[in-house]
Amino acid sequence: MIVALLNQKGGVGKTTLALHLAGEWARQGQRVTLIDADPQGSALDWSQQREHERLARLFGVIGLARDTLHREAPELARTANHVVIDGPPRVAGLMRSALMAADLVLIPVQPSPLDGWASAEMLALLKEARIYRPNLAARFVLNRCAARTIIARETANGLADHDPPVLGATIGQRIVFAAAAQSGQLVQELDPDGPAAREIARLAEDITSLAAGRDRHG
Ligand SMILES: Nc1ncnc2c1ncn2[C@@H]1O[C@H](COP(=O)(O)OP(=O)(O)OP(=O)(O)O)[C@@H](O)[C@H]1O
Ligand SMILES: [Mg+2]
């Protein structure tokens, strides 16, 4: 399956969640390739940092910040159980290509009630991609949930009614994610029994069951 983490908003956790999802599946013994579709190359930096620290390689990271992504990603998917795309910034061509490559789009958002969760442009591009690919699944993922109260309020306002829907698994605001980014490690390695590692495991589970559901329905 090809999972793309996309949001034209910066700093919402695309790279963080892409690395941790890829790492979670890799730690389970699955073959994973991460495509860094961001010209900034943050995921590549992370994997280089990891190499520099002589830590074991978990998954390959390939820099592919170009709009032929939709042709190259399926090739990579042939030799991997999972391909994870760390999404591009506000470049419509790259975004289109990532949307055409993905089976599942995850849109990380910070659950701020004051804010639109994704740009109108991003949602328009998703709609456009679905004309060609009606089975393209999409979910919001609530990241950096600082307080339960915010989520509770949003829930009261009908989280389930959002389009795309909101994934059940949420990720808290946790300092260990910043430590992981800097050290070329994962929260599963830095604090294996901690809440961040548990949240990532739950996120991976939710995605796996989404994929299973999809497959059952053809
Ligand atoms: N759940 C979290 N808890 C704490 N810090 C987080 C969390 N998620 C992300 N961060 C931190 O927030 C910053 C931005 O996250 P990240 O780089 O993953 O976002 P991004 O969407 O990839 O940003 P960009 O658009 O610049 O590529 C990073 O410093 C990261 O460590
Ligand atoms: Mg990033």
pLDDT one-digit tens code per residue, 82-123: 999 999 988 889 999 999 999 999 999 987 766 677 778 888
Tell me if 105 is assigned to some domain.
yes
Cα-to-centroid distance, 98 and ligand 2 (Å): 14
Q: Rounded distance, CA 43 to CA 41, Å?
A: 6
Tell me if 109 is assigned to some domain.
yes
Tell me if 214 is assigned to some domain.
no
How many domains, the chain?
Answer: 1
9 touches 163 (CB < 8 A): no
pLDDT digits (tens, 9 = 90+) for 138-184: 999 999 987 665 555 555 455 656 789 989 999 999 999 999 999 99
Q: Rounded distance, CA 98 to CA 92, Å?
A: 10
- CATH code for the domain in which residue 112 is found: 3.40.50.300
Q: Find the domain containing 55 and state its range.
A: 2-206
Instruction: Give pLDDT, residue 46.
Output: 98
Phi, psi of 148 (to 5 degrees): -60, -30
Q: Rounded distance, CA 167 to CA 210, Å?
A: 10
Tell me if 211 is assigned to some domain.
no
Instruction: Give pLDDT, residue 159.
Output: 60
Instruction: Find the residues whose C-beta lies inside 6 A of ligand 1.
Output: 10-16, 38, 42, 89, 143-144, 171, 173-174, 177-178, 181
Please tell me the residue having the least CA distance from ligand 1 atom 28: 178
Tell me if 37 is assigned to some domain.
yes
- Tokens for 183? 């050290």
Tell me if 218 is assigned to some domain.
no
Tell me if 63 is assigned to some domain.
yes
